[in-house]
Structure 1
Amino acid sequence: MLNSVHHIAIIAGDYERSKKFYTEILGLHIIAEVYREERDSWKLDLALNGQYIIELFSFPGAPARPSRPEAIGLRHLAFSVTDLDQEVASLTSKGVSCEAIRTDPYTGKRFTFFSDPDGLPLELYEL
């Protein structure tokens, strides 16, 4: 039986740029950072509100993966927020562009999308 999602793994095109985005812009906290010499790869473990959620990797020469429009595979990563307008304003003030806020016709909840530095679609979903 499954208990929960343990983590999401992301491969960054530019490790330092993505590290800055996920820590300084989104506010995730670093749990551990390890350089794996045999792979010439960094691994950064990140937490949100004390819960481990993202492994950020660097792999030299990793191929690009299409994410839009609606490519097969992982569609997006969604973060829940209490005040969507406040979070959008915060991201915008840090130079991150968000799509227009929409309302889910089934739940009545508001949401928006933005992208990480490699174009990975990220969502803010207001609870």
Structure 2
Amino acid sequence: MAVSKIEHIGIKVAQLEHSLTFYQEVIGLTLQDMIGEPGSGLRLAFLSFPGQTSVEVELIERVWTGLPDEGKVSHVAFTVTGIEAEHSRIAALKLPGLTEISTLANGSRYFFFDGPDGEKLEFFESTRSN
């Protein structure tokens, strides 16, 4: 098995700049990376604690049809190596919710599947060094 750590926790946000300010000023996180441009339909911001970049908070801004009062934590992501082999392993387990492997603009790749209670889990192979 090539799973090595929790990669990030994804949180759905309505307005990325507002949430960035909150997580930086109130929580003390620092911005590590942003992906996407305003108006592009999907923007991501990755934040971590200073000197502790191994686990991040990912803020996800996209066109939502209203954020629910519960369930704004979107998913838990785990760092993997050899994403194709991990995708095949999960497919062989016949777990529900398995998506195809997708690629972000920076080359990082990921896929989702469901845990035993329907929670969204992500395997993430990053091109960024953490």
> What TM bracket, shorter-length normalisation?
0.3 to 0.5
Relative contact order, higher structure (CA 8 A, sep 6+): 2
TM-score (ref. length: structure 2): 0.44
TM-score (ref. length: structure 1): 0.45
